[in-house]
Amino acid sequence: MEPLVKIRNVEVRYDNRNGGLVAISGVDLDIRQGEVVGIVGKSGCGKTTLLKVIAGLVRPTRGEVIYNGTHNGGGFRGIGMLFQSPLLLPWRTVLKNILLPIELRGEDVDSYVPRALELMERIGLKGFENSYPWELSGGMQQRVALCRALIHRPSLLLLDEPFSALDAITREDMWMLLQEVISYENYTAVLVTHDIREAVLLSDRVVVMGGRPGRVKAEVTIPFRRPRDLGLQYGREYNDYVAKIRSLLGD
């Protein structure tokens, strides 16, 4: 089957006052339907840039991204994104935050309410429809952001260090939740993280990026069946993958 996303020899150069900066260069990557791909790399190596290119938010200055047969097309409607901070609108209730993408698309908001309520229940937000974001903990706000990213049933979920601002225990809860929604609705997902342990726990394949300019250094297949148990973290095989990826990252 054709990959959902084909990234071919992609370069992104940002123009700035000092001339230009090549953020990523020569990036080749396939993302297959139903796959969870982790991307790890040090700060500044171009992970966010790569996600933006996949989302069509940044145009490659060289090479191409083919998404579902569309070349470098901007504004892919099939994408849901989750960022490090939840970016909720404080004057809207939780339910209205979740429905925002539907409203922005000018679609029938009411018809998405049952979907929003179902997602909220699955993601552990039942009963908080009419709360405001500032009444919720950081972990719960990120759950709201996850519901918002999923409301329109995207065919691709792009996650940019979504759990890095959460405490360790809340982060583990979110790992489990994310796995549950991914398998329940069979999402294809790209998870950018600088947490190698997180990448190994959640991904079918981990892409290791190196810097200056950003490029793919290695890919490691993680063969454990999904969804995975938190206990996996204490096993030998899991830790061998973590160590291998750590050494591929270099110092």
Ligand X SMILES: Nc1ncnc2c1ncn2[C@@H]1O[C@H](COP(=O)(O)OP(=O)(O)O)[C@@H](O)[C@H]1O
Binding of Mg ion by 48 (CB under 5 A): yes
| Ranges within 47-66 binding ligand X (CB under 6 A) | 47-49
Q: Is 206 in the site for ligand X (CB under 6 A)?
A: no
Shortest Cβ 38–ligand X spacing (Å): 13
Partner interacting with residue 133 (select from Mg ion, ligand X, none; CB below 5-8 Å by kind): none
Q: How many residues bind Mg ion (CB under 5 A)?
A: 1
Q: Which is nearer to ligand X, 19 or 69 (CB)?
A: 19
233, with CB counted inside 10 A (0-12, 13-18, 19+), is middle
Rule CB under 6 A: say whether 127 interacts with ligand X.
no
Q: Are strands 5-16 and 19-31 parallel, antiparallel or unpaired?
A: antiparallel
d(CA 212, CA 28): 16
Q: How far is the CB of 218 from ligand X (least distance, A)?
A: 16
Helices (H), 99-188: 100-104, 113-122, 138-150, 168-185
Q: How far apart are CA 200 and CA 211, in angstroms?
A: 21
Q: What angle do CA 40, 55, 72 make, to 5 degrees?
A: 115
Report the distance separating Cα 146 and Cα 239, nearest Å.
28
From Mg ion, ligand X, none, which one binds at residue 45 (CB under 5 to 8 Å depending on kind)? ligand X
- Contact map string, positions 10 to 49, toward ligand X, x by CB under 6 A: ----x-x----x-x-----------------x-xxxxxxx
Angle between helical axes of 113-122 and 168-185 (0-180°, round to 10): 130
CB nearer to ligand X: pick between 43 and 111? 43
For residue 49, with 0-12 CB atoms within 10 Å meaning exposed, 13-18 middle and 19 or more buried, which class applies?
buried
11 vs 160, beta carbon nearer Mg ion:
160
Residue nearest to Mg ion (CB): 48
Q: Which residues bind ligand X (CB under 6 A)?
A: 14, 16, 21, 23, 41, 43-49
Q: Which residues bind Mg ion (CB under 5 A)?
A: 48
